[in-house]
């Protein structure tokens, strides 16, 4: 079964995705289907609190599978507007809908140009499936 990488998202080489909202001010961050497939069963998520500042390329949280702990990197500088409490409580459901219900945090971005060097869906697919 081929993994999906929606075209309207930007992707980091550390496997987070970023979705820019219609007002172009808020960035929703989640984990790509590829990374979730690699990690296997997710058992724990640690996310920043609302109001925390996050920095582009810096760790904002962690995701744990049964076997491994991975840092989560922010795609932009900004402030955390919202975090997905439902997915923190039930992290095992994250792979069911990674691009929908299983988003992690929403960031009020300082500058969307932070995303200019992130990958398109095609570029990301090339990276994870090409090699």
Partner 1 sequence: MTSLRTPLYDLSADLKARFTEFAGWDMPVQYSGIKHEHHAVRTAAGMFDISHMGKFFLRGQGVLAALQKLVPSDLSPLQPGLAQYTVLLNPQGGIIDDLIIYYQGTDTDGTERVAVIVNAATTDKDKAWMREHLPAAMEFEDGSRDRVLIAVQGPEAIAQLQRVTAEDLAQVGRFGHIAGTVLGQPAWLARTGYTGEDGFEVMVAAATGQALWQTLHENGVTPCGLGARDTLRLEAAMALYGQDISDNTTPLEAGLKWLVHLERAGNFMGRAVLERQMTEGLSRRLVGLQMAGRNIARHDYPVVQAGEAIGIVTSGTLSPTLGYPIALAYVTSAFAKVGQTLAVEIRGKAYPAQVVKKPFYKRSS
Which residues lie near partner 1 (CB under 8 A)?
40-41, 43-44, 46, 62, 64-67, 69, 92
Residue among 24 and 67 whose Cβ is closer to partner 1: 67
Residue among 52 and 123 whose Cβ is closer to partner 1: 52
Q: How far is the CB of 44 from partner 1 (least distance, A)?
A: 6
* Distance of alpha carbon 99 from alpha carbon 47, whole angstroms: 17
Residue/partner pairs of 82-91 with CB below 8 Å, 24 or more apart:
82/50, 82/106, 83/47, 83/48, 83/49, 83/50, 84/47, 87/45, 88/45, 88/47, 91/42, 91/43, 91/44, 91/45, 91/63
Q: How far is the CB of 92 from partner 1 (least distance, A)?
A: 8
Residue among 13 and 41 whose Cβ is closer to partner 1: 41
Q: How far is the CB of 87 from partner 1 (least distance, A)?
A: 13
Q: How far is the CB of 4 from partner 1 (least distance, A)?
A: 18
Q: Any idea of the CA torsion for 62, 101, 124, 33, to the nearest 10 degrees?
A: 70
Residue among 44 and 126 whose Cβ is closer to partner 1: 44
């Amino acid at each position: 079964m081929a993994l999906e990488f929606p075209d309207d998202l930007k992707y980091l080489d550390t496997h987070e995705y970023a979705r820019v909202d219609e007002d172009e001010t808020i960035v929703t961050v989640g984990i790509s289907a590829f990374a979730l497939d690699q990690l296997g069963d997710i058992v724990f998520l640690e996310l920043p609190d609302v109001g925390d500042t996050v920095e582009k390329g810096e760790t904002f949280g962690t995701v744990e599978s049964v076997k491994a702990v991975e840092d989560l990197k922010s795609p932009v500088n900004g402030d955390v507007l919202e975090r997905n409490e439902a997915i923190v409580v039930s992290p095992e459901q994250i792979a069911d809908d990674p691009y929908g219900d299983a988003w992690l945090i929403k960031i009020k971005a300082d500058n969307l140009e932070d995303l200019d060097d992130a990958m398109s869906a095609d570029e990301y697919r090339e990276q994870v499936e090409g090699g």
